[in-house]
């Protein structure tokens, strides 16, 4: 699978740390990540290194993905 065009959550946090992001946008990112993890776990797969640099936010800031390099059957 190809990488999503965008930036990591870690990069996003660093670039917006002064101005911050709103509560609604923060909750939306969290919901996207939780829904991805829930779907992956439902197939017996776990992510071994879930951290800001393995979460990608696409340029439109409406889509979120998780790096698949650390996925493993549980």
Banded pLDDT at 46 (limits 50, 70, 90)? confident
Is pLDDT of 72 > 70? Answer: no
Length of the chain measured in residues: 74
Q: Answer whether 36's CB lies under 8 Å from 66's CB.
A: yes
pLDDT by residue (tens digit) across 11-39? 877 776 666 677 888 788 888 888 988 98
* pTM given for the model: 0.67
Q: What are phi and psi of 4, to 5 degrees?
A: -70, 140
């Amino acid at each position: 699978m190809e990488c999503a065009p965008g930036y990591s959550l870690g990069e996003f946090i660093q670039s917006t740390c002064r101005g911050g992001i709103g509560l609604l946008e923060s909750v939306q990112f969290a919901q996207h990540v939780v829904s991805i993890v829930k779907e992956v776990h439902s197939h017996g797969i776990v992510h071994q290194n879930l951290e800001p640099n393995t979460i990608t936010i696409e340029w439109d800031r409406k889509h979120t993905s998780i790096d698949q390099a650390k996925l493993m059957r549980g």
